[in-house]
């Protein structure tokens, strides 16, 4: 004898199916609208020794070396840049290094930014003079006592820069396209792989 089922149970299944499909569609639309289904943008890769136009600056990565001093246990990653301020006013070195650059590393311990030092015409400077090439050395440090393994690699991410000038006071404000939120999915404009030389390792 066939088993009879309550008619309410039979009618409930299509209703639950319809609700589930509707919820799935709404979820997908929400994810798509917030960019979740789009691949995160990737910076354009440029080779070292290539001049890169960041709007307000022109940057060329000239060297990168992992160095352990003769005495001490802190390994430094030194990245040397040629930088030219393309505008007609000087710009702060700190403004450039904090907002226009970021380092990405993998295959080893975390790297921490330590300092930036600039020289122009044989003298130390803390400004980027207009239209004059400046040599900038970025120093990053690895945790004390660590040794970067052979697979350790890094690249410098470069963020495009614009500027705004106040009409009354002639004040120049550099405006980076780097997002203020570190969790942002926005990517840098350019990336430069760093062929790492090793000294004292």
pLDDT tens for 68-81 read 987 778 999 999 99
CB pairs under 8 A, 24+ apart, for 112-117? 112/140, 112/141, 112/142, 113/138, 113/139, 113/140, 114/76, 114/139, 114/140, 114/141, 115/139
> Rounded to an integer, what distance in angstroms lies between the CA atom of residue 44 and that of residue 159?
11
pLDDT of residue 42: 83
Q: Residue 59: phi, psi to the nearest 5?
A: -125, 135
Share above pLDDT 70 across residues of the chain, in percent, rounded to a whole number:
76
* Mean of the per-residue pLDDT values of the chain: 83
pLDDT band at residue 44 under the 50/70/90 scheme: very high
Helix (H, G, I), strand (E, B) or coil at 52: strand
* Secondary structure (DSSP) of 158-193: E--EEEEE-TTT--EEEEE-S-SSTT-----SEEEE
Whether the CB-CB separation of 177 and 124 falls below 8 Å is answered with no
Q: Give the lowest-confidence range in 57-66, 76-85, 175-184.
A: 175-184
Enter the tokens of residue 144. Answer: 């004390």
pLDDT tens for 111-164 read 999 999 999 988 999 999 999 999 999 999 999 988 899 899 999 999 998 887
Q: What is the 3-state secondary structure (H, E, C) of 81-138?
A: EEEEECCCCCEEHHHHHHHCEEEEEECCCCCEEEEEEEEECCEEECEECECCEEEEEE
Fold of 44-199: Immunoglobulin-like (2.60.40)
């Amino acid at each position: 004898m066939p088993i009879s089922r309550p008619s309410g149970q039979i009618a409930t299944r299509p209703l639950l199916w319809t609700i589930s499909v509707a919820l799935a569609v709404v979820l997908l639309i929400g994810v798509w609208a917030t960019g979740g289904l789009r691949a995160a943008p990737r910076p354009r890769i440029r080779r070292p020794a290539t001049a890169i136009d960041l709007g307000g600056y022109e940057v060329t990565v000239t060297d990168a070396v992992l160095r352990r001093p003769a005495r001490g246990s802190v390994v430094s990653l030194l990245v040397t840049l040629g930088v030219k301020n393309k505008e007609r006013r000087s710009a702060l070195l700190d403004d450039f290094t904090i907002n226009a650059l970021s380092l990405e590393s993998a295959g080893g311990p975390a790297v921490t930014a330590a300092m930036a030092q600039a020289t122009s015409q044989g003298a130390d400077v803390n400004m980027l003079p207009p239209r004059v090439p400046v040599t900038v050395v970025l120093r990053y440090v690895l945790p004390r006592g660590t040794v970067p393994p052979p697979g350790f690699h890094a690249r410098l991410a470069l963020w495009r820069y614009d500027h705004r000038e106040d009409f009354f006071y002639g004040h120049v404000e550099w405006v980076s396209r780097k997002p203020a939120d570190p969790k942002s999915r926005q990517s840098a404009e350019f990336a430069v792989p760093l062929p790492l030389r090793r000294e004292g390792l």
